[in-house]
Structure 1
Amino acid sequence: MTLVFPLAPNVLNDKLPIAAVVWDQKRMDRISGQASGRFWGAELAPPLWRPTIELATRPSSEMKRYAALIRALHGVQNGFFLTDPLSPFPAADPGGQILGNSQVQIESIPSHRSSQSFKGLPPFYQLSIADKFTVVYGSNPTRYGFFEITEDAAATSDGTTGLIGVYPHLPAGVAENAVVILAKPFGLFVVEPGSHNPGRARRHLTEGAGFTAIQKLFA
């Protein structure tokens, strides 16, 4: 079957035997200063998520399949969807059973765009700092926003929340009523050039495989 890009989670993400991860970011900041100690800082572009993935030691017959899929991305030409393995569901609902099939949406966004309110949550649903969520928005191209909640909060009896801090800022294209994905949220990523290590084969086992991914906002 021909590969379809970006690679869906069940093609690569869900199969990777992740042993360790550093779920970090790449910021686009610039600082200038004076000898007096005064300095000024500016964000030149939105930050990008930059996870470093270490894969477990596995049979070489298995590991070479992952290496082949990563090479099939043709460097940064094609992307894949990746979920933070530390945050596949909200912390207060580890398996997503409470969330179920709830249709969660953005209710409102203030002008500073560093927070939002939610609607469509189960009554009294708990959201925690560091929970992740996805918002798919726009068309031609479709964009994939991957965000982090920055404070603890809970829904009211009608499934809505007050304004909750999020990181990074919501882009201009994200609007009220946009669908929010809290169960297995994902971002769109490419493999950072030069970072892929297919691993070292030692007899029938391969060890030391891994890569660094960098977020891409649209395919």
Structure 2
Amino acid sequence: MASALTFPLALTEFFDGLHVASVGFDLMENMRHSATQGGEVLVSDLGPRLWTFEVQVTTKHHADARKGEALARMLRQAGRPFFAYDKSAAYPAADPGGVILGSSTPTINTINSDNRRMRVQGLPAGYVLSRGDLLSFTYGLDPSRYALHEVITPVTADGSGLTPLFEVSPFIRPGAQAGAAVTFVKPFCKAVMIPGSYRPGLRRPAFTEGLSFAAIQTLR
């Protein structure tokens, strides 16, 4: 008897199997602004910045397309999140395929008090992190939460595999701790479908084309 799916839906269950024609990840702003009589623009944050993304799937044979569509339709309801990653940034820029990283097990060494900078240990000696690389880690308990960050200041690990402090975006949230495992290969976030964004594929004589949807990171 097949077991029921568990959520968040694992990468191997859904997102890995999507052959995308295009994917767009963005870190949305969540703020308001107002202007004073003197012409000064005042800006304030309203809440956490979350990753959003849109996916369009490649043209596929009908049978293959239906497999992805069935899961996507199943995810279009409350309580069914899934893990996802930016397929255009699945590896650090200086390490295509993650070959250099190999079996290394990097972890957070330090989180600076400004919650903008961190150090990572356990990398190969001389490992390079470039601006725009992504990383993820788990933090918090009951529930576990999943952080996805973008490298802002490029760094190179020293001979022991420890990086200098480097800045990431968004801010590192409360609950993140030294010792947490850091993912550089397919760094992921937990996401939910944005209601109304799903577009089913169009059936052609031999192929299905045009399946697309949008999703947003969720911290719970």
Task: Note whether the superposition's TM-score is higher than 0.5.
Answer: yes
What is the aligned partner in structure 1 of residue 195 from structure 2? 193
Instruction: Name stretches of at least 5 consecutive residues in structure 1 with no aligned partner.
Output: none
The 1-side partners of 2:191 and 2:129 are apart by: 25
Give the superposition deviation at 1:204. 2.4
Picking from 9, 27, 30, the partner of 2:29 is 27
State the match for 1:136 in structure 2: 138
Residue of structure 2 equivalent to 1:93: 95
For the Cα contact (< 8 Å) 2:36–2:42, is it kept in 1? no
Match of 1:58 in 2: 60
Do the aligned residues in 1 keep the contact of 2:15 with 2:84 (CA within 8 Å)?
yes
Distance in 2, matches of 1:33 and 1:82, equals 38
What are the residue-to-residue correspondences of 1:33-112 with 2, within 5 Å?
Answer: 33-112=35-114
Judge conservation of contact 1:189–1:213 (CA < 8 Å) in 2: yes
Indicate the SS of the match to 1:144.
strand
Could you list the runs of 5+ residues in structure 2 that have no partner in the other structure? none
> Offset at 1:26?
2.2
- Bigger drift between 128-137 and 74-83 goes to 74-83
Show CA shifts across 1:124-150 (max 9, x none).
101111111111112110101111111
The Cα of 1:106 is off from its aligned counterpart by: 1.1
Structure 1 residue matching 2:168: 3-state secondary structure: strand
Equivalent in the alignment of 1:4: 6
* 2: CA distance, partners of 1:203 / 1:36: 63
Cα RMSD of the aligned pairs, angstroms, is 1.1
**Aligned position for 1:216:** 218
| 8 Å Cα contact 2:24/2:55 also seen in 1 | yes
State the match for 2:19 in structure 1: 17
The question of 1:166 aligning with 2:168 is answered yes
Equivalent residue letter for 2:153:
E
Structure 2: distance between partners of 1:213 and 1:147:
17
The sequence identity of aligned pairs, in percent, is: 36
Q: What is the deviation of 1:77? A: 2.3
Q: Once superposed, which parts of structure 1, at least 4 consecutive aligned residues long, lie more than 2 Å away?
A: 74-77
TM-score normalised to structure 2 length: 0.95
Q: Confirm or deny: 8 A CA contact 1:76 1:191 kept in the other structure.
A: no
